[in-house]
Amino acid sequence: MTEIERLIEQLARRGHDVERVEDGALYPLGDTHLALFAVPAESGDGLVVRAHLDLDLYVDEEVLADVLLGVNLLNQNLDFGTLVLDPVESDDDDTVTFAVLGRASVWLRDFSESEIARLEAALERFEAEVSGAVERSLSSGQHLKA
């Protein structure tokens, strides 16, 4: 059984309806889903769970400099997780579009109840911080130019 399969099993035991997708899983959290990926820690002890939050924000390359500045400023105020720009495959070869994503990593010692509870708390905090920061930014006068 892989790390992601074991993680899905543990989260399901705690009442979460986690869906397996390709090499990861979709973890429902409020009105959104986090994409989770689990790999063994390089040290050999435990595992690293990576969470990705799709914010449904897309920017074109012509505003990339302004958006990078905005993302950098937002990242400075995040305690947990980070915002990144990820290129999106497009049929149009003339322009490049980037998705704004939230990403975080959590190291777990094992799959024990206490570690899974710690992961749940970290995922909730990550989603709340990243979503809150982006919402505040977009609703203020100094927002990402997307």
The arrangement of strands across the sheet holding 82-88 comes to 19-21, 24-29, 32-40, 47-60, 97-108, 82-88
Q: Model confidence over 95-112: pLDDT tens digits?
A: 789 999 999 999 999 999
State the chain's mean pLDDT as an integer: 90
Instruction: Give the count of domains, the chain.
Output: 1
pLDDT, position 64: 87
- What span, in angstroms and rounded, lies between the C-alpha atoms of 52 and 82? 10
Is residue 126 scored above 70 in pLDDT? Answer: yes
Is residue 145 a part of any domain in this protein? no
* Region 69-86 average pLDDT: 91
CATH of the domain at 104: 3.30.1460
Is residue 142 scored above 60 in pLDDT? Answer: no
Is residue 31 a part of any domain in this protein? yes
pLDDT, position 17: 94
Q: Specify the amino acid at residue 112.
A: S
pLDDT, position 145: 46
* Region 131-138 average pLDDT: 86
Is residue 144 a part of any domain in this protein? no
| Domain carrying residue 50 | 3-139
* Region 68-74 average pLDDT: 90
